[in-house]
Structure 1
Amino acid sequence: MSAESRRHRHRQGPVLRAGDMVLPTTTDQRLLASRGDVAWVHEDPWRVMRIQSEFVEGFGELAELGPAVSIFGSARTPPDDPIYATAEELARKFVQARFGVITGGGPGVMEAANKGAYEADGVSVGLGIELPFETGMNEYVTLGINFRYFFVRKMMFMKYSQGFVVMPGGFGTLDEMFEGLTLAQTGKLDHRFVLFGSDYWTPLVDWLRDSVLEAGNISAKDFDLFHVTDDIDDAVRVLVADNS
């Protein structure tokens, strides 16, 4: 086994694997696989126990977290990007408003938000996920939980956040945003979303208004579920006011 192979480290829930011990697929992949050997018929009931354990672990660790906001955004944002500095400052301002900060615990915007909360002596939470290629939890997380299943992790974001800031990001960020907006739209979640960065989000909002609303697939009142801004203090004000 090469030195490079041995250096590859992989998180699988609470388990750390390296080198030849890294499995070729993730837990989510194996759960969602529906083809091939029918042995899954006998294995899936046992997976329920593992899923249950992740819920128990998450609920147990986060139950006394207190008021917190989740900050979503791209893992690919480099430290020299202005968005990185903005996420840091956002997190710092939320800590000053007596809110903890929750992220996915990874690099990019997540690291920046955790860094801002950490350096402001606030609660800095990272909810990690098992991925084929990952760097692990960033160094600014003070409370970190690694999950195998995306849907368990999403539950923790939604349950323990009093509001959400969505920074520029990709598929993962959009997934978290739209799942949360769907829960809010259907009355299952009573929180608002701040979409930070008008240049980035306005084309999407225009599409929602000009195409999705025009087709009758959403209502005009659904636009009240989120607020677009470029101002850090405005973002903090909106979410803090909603929880005061």
Structure 2
Amino acid sequence: MPALPTLDAESVTIARAAATELARLLPSTDALTVVEHDPASGPADDAVAVRAAFVGAVSADLLVVADQAVAEALAGTDATISVADALRPALDAATATLGAGVLDEARSAALAGGLEEEGVIAFALAGADGTPQAWFGLRMRQRPEAVPQQRGAAAPGAAQVSPLRLLHDVEMTLTAEIGRTKLPVRQVLELVPGTVLELDRAAGSLADVMVNGRLVARGEVVVVDEDYGIRITEIVGSENA
């Protein structure tokens, strides 16, 4: 087995970028934020962990513990897929930050201390209340001489079904935001009916469209059959969110 590299600042930066992209596409009912991993509040050793290997410009082993978050997102839908399949789009997004390469088949197994293994850079994915809902680990490896074919890949011309299609029936919360403001606690407590708050956006400006708390688009506020609506005018990429 090739020697593991030292956990330098560059490796940590790469791992955090991968964790951020994974959190962005993780099928969770809550918007998740990447925070430092505290082993004391980490998952149990018998928690379900999804592991996958990426071979390419930067090769790495990936580990995700998110069975509870995924189960809550899929609850009440017709999707009958495994945790590994549900996480595949998020794993694809995470490895996209590593450059060109091939992501191997994802497999589920007991965590068994995987986040604490030598060379693993681990992060927690916390919900709005700061409580970890999922965990991500990445271990950098030396680049092999050649990139192998993806294990289990279909033959050229064969029909393939995107893992993301399996999540099409999962409902996510969309909200429109026309502006924000900040107030000291004293003024918040003094709010009464009739109080006018000045927001940080000019009248007529585009509203932000949020998916589970993450900015994905901007649009104009319109009226549709006496209800408010949003006409999308701009899609916001992850690098601009």
TM (norm. structure 1) is 0.23
* Higher helix proportion: 1
- Structure with larger RCO (C-alpha < 8 A, sep 6+): 2
- Rg larger for: 2
* Higher strand proportion: 2
TM (norm. structure 2) is 0.23
